[in-house]
Chain A
């Protein structure tokens, strides 16, 4: 599927949503892991998916449901622990799962989502639908056994799964160079007999193209693909981290922020297209700013969960609890 003008504008809108949402999060009393700098990888992948396809996220996962098309207000309310939050205040920043747009789960256990996404692919295969499943995970997560084991499971049965690694170079303070025998994570695909693709994660269009090919393969029953998007996290790993021994240089950060901003790169690509002009983009940005403001107000004005409902959502069929 090649992108029409409306698709391009939707891709731009979702990238801006993530950026502006995250900028707003920074001003709120929320402890979180931000995806600023990684919007191209996230949205490029999500745009290749249908609404009924599945994804799983990670601890750094405000962007994944937004990329998949989720409504912002319930996400923001979740970050503030409100009852109107997407998970009714039970999940918080690392768990913004919106099932209505196919987010099966967001795992704060690094590597925990990879088998779940594989399971969603297995389920689609058994149920005979043409849905596919895409799991987002980091470079750090690729060192979990779940990653290798899941790739093999998906390969053995040709499951419709896309393993999508956002390689931002670091797992907290540990660089890929210091933790991976083979720093090109995509090459691991070879060991499982599936295609492995490296893309520039700052270039949303390249990400889309690679993801789209993987989705077509998966939908056709040709099995899984591993995509490694080389990207960069602009912010610190998360708030409140006390890092006494620096692990990346200011020059390196500045270089990426100045020259490798996925929004700037995509803007330039869009403006080079005859059918898209600056006004199109400006009006989208303005709309997203309003949308995010409304989400923040909604979140702030919403109520907290009622303490009497503490046990709600524990079981589908409630069991008897001691008083």
Chain B
């Protein structure tokens, strides 16, 4: 005991730095690739989709540019994961996950179970959601709900640079298939991120982004900045909103969500996915089943309309949830 007290004081180095969401993605991968040589990265035009730094830092054994063959290179990575590598597959635009979906769902998600636990599939699928930028319907999907209904996958939707870095690193270290949905609307957004190469955020933990007492607003992925702005406006109205970010959709941190609703008695869920079968729908079902007595008013979902993302900017801008929609939903259940 005395010994420890007499140990010399270690001056802590600066432990965090301002980092953009995009740089968090790059750094997380670079750190994990440096730490573990089994981590390899594959994707199309890696150097364009933010991966220039990785192409410069690693040779072709570690970073490999793929032909446009999403279904097969995804399967190839799954095969490699089963036999000793820990691949990160960059599927670039999230709408392309549909082309890889057969291998992700029929193989990656199922093989451990179907082989009676003989194998592990430690793999990360990255998908960037490019929307609100006039890319039209075949490039603008936010498809995480589809993959939520495939058991065997873990699904992550980080909303800040710190969450991105910590969760992506956890995903690489996880022994099961993890899909991480990134949001291009957050790329440039900076926040304070730990520089510790072992900084991790555990998969399956929600985060209270703003404490409050009158209403719970569950915000999924890139809805967060808009939801926080709405919460500020509500504060001026005298309504104290608690903003909770699940961060991980599978597994869902039910405990934190239920505890918040138990405190506030009111729930609004904000999700950029299409309304039908959205992540918001699943969360609403969980709360209705497990915390019905806490609710003083019906649950409200604020989601993207069930319509394809139109090209024309005048149409595109009206399909996604806005702060006004969130405020409207909160006021509706006061």
Contact = CB atoms under 8 A, between A and B. Distances in A.
B311 A143 contact: no
Contacts of A143: 67-69
Contacts of A305: 310, 312, 314-315
A179 B72 CA distance: 14
Interface in A288-308: 304-305, 307
A116 B157 CA distance: 34
A87 to B, nearest CB: 8
Contacts of B315: 81, 89-90, 304-305, 307, 310
B307 A89 contact: no
Interface stretch (A1-9, A168-176, A187-195): A168-176
Interface residues of A, number: 45
Contacts of B174: none
A89 B310 contact: yes
B284 interface: no
A209 to B, nearest CB: 29
B311 A90 contact: yes
A307 B139 contact: no
B305 interface: yes
Interface in A136-172: 140-141, 143-145, 171-172
Contacts, number: 118
Contacts of A224: none
A107 interface: yes
At the interface, is chain A mostly helix, strand, loop or mixed? loop
A109 interface: yes
A92 interface: yes
A92 B55 contact: no
Interface of B: 44-45, 47-48, 52, 55, 65-72, 95-96, 99, 134-139, 275, 305-308, 310-315, 318-319
Interface of A: 31, 78, 81-83, 85, 87, 89-95, 107-112, 140-141, 143-145, 171-174, 178-180, 241-245, 304-305, 307, 310-311, 314, 321-322
Given A92-B312, A305-B310, A310-B315, 15 more contacts: A81-B313, A81-B314, A90-B310, A95-B138, A109-B95, A140-B67, A143-B67, A144-B69, A171-B44, A173-B48, A180-B67, A244-B47, A245-B47, A304-B314, A310-B319
24 contacts: A78-B311, A81-B312, A81-B315, A90-B137, A92-B134, A92-B135, A92-B136, A92-B311, A92-B312, A93-B311, A94-B139, A108-B135, A109-B99, A140-B68, A143-B69, A171-B68, A172-B45, A179-B66, A180-B67, A243-B47, A245-B52, A304-B313, A304-B315, A305-B314
